[in-house]
Amino acid sequence: MNKQELINQLQIHHQQFADYIETLSTSDFIKSLPGKWTPGQQTDHIVKSVSPVAMAFGLPKIAPKLLFGKSTRKSKSYDELIDKYKLKLLQGGKASGKFVPKEIPTGEKFILPKAVIHYINTLCKHVEKTSEDDLDTYVLPHPLLGKLTFREMVYFTIYHVQHHHEITKRDLTM
C-alpha cells in the first residue's frame, strides 16, 4: 500500500470502530464475558496502542534512528505482517503492560471513540509527511512483533483495530 492507501485504511477502519462503539447502549459498553474485555476496554486498548505510534511518527526522524536503528530488510507485505501477528496470538501472545486497559466507566463511552479518531488523524497527518522511502527505512518496537518498519507499524495499526472490532462484536452476541 502506498501512503494514501495507508491513510485511507487507517481512517476507514478506525472510524468504523469508533462509530460502532458510539452506537452501543451504556449497558453493552460495559458488558463482558468472563475473562474478556468490555467494549470500553477494547476502545481504551486501541487508544493506548495508537497514541504512541502517532507520537513516534511525529518525532524528528533522527529520534527513531538513534533509539531503534534503521531497517536492514525490505518491509513485509500487509498479509505477511498480519500472518506473523496471528501466529504470535496463536502462540499465546497478548497485550501486556501499558497496553492492558483499566476498568472503563460508562462516562467514557463518547470520550474514548473521539480519542481514537484524534490519534488516528494525528497519525495520518504524520504519515502524509513521511516519504515512501522513510516508511521502509525507520523502525519502531512492537511488544509482540519486534522491530517493525514504519510501514509495517501502519499495517499493524490498520489490522489491529479490525481485530478488536470483530472481537467486540463477537463477544456482545454471545
Encode pLDDT of 98-123 as tens digits: 999 999 999 999 999 999 999 999 99
Yes or no: is domain 3-173 CATH 1.20.120.450?
yes
Q: Are 156 and 13 in contact, with CB atoms under 8 Å apart?
A: no
> What is the C-alpha separation between 165 and 76, in angstroms, rounded?
24
- Dihedral angle at the C-alpha atoms of 37, 101, 78, 115, nearest 10 degrees? 110
Which position has the grid cell 501512503? 3
Which amino acid, residue 168? Answer: T
Give the pLDDT mean for 62-73: 91
> What is the C-alpha separation between 42 and 100, in angstroms, rounded?
9
For the entire predicted model, the pTM comes to: 0.95
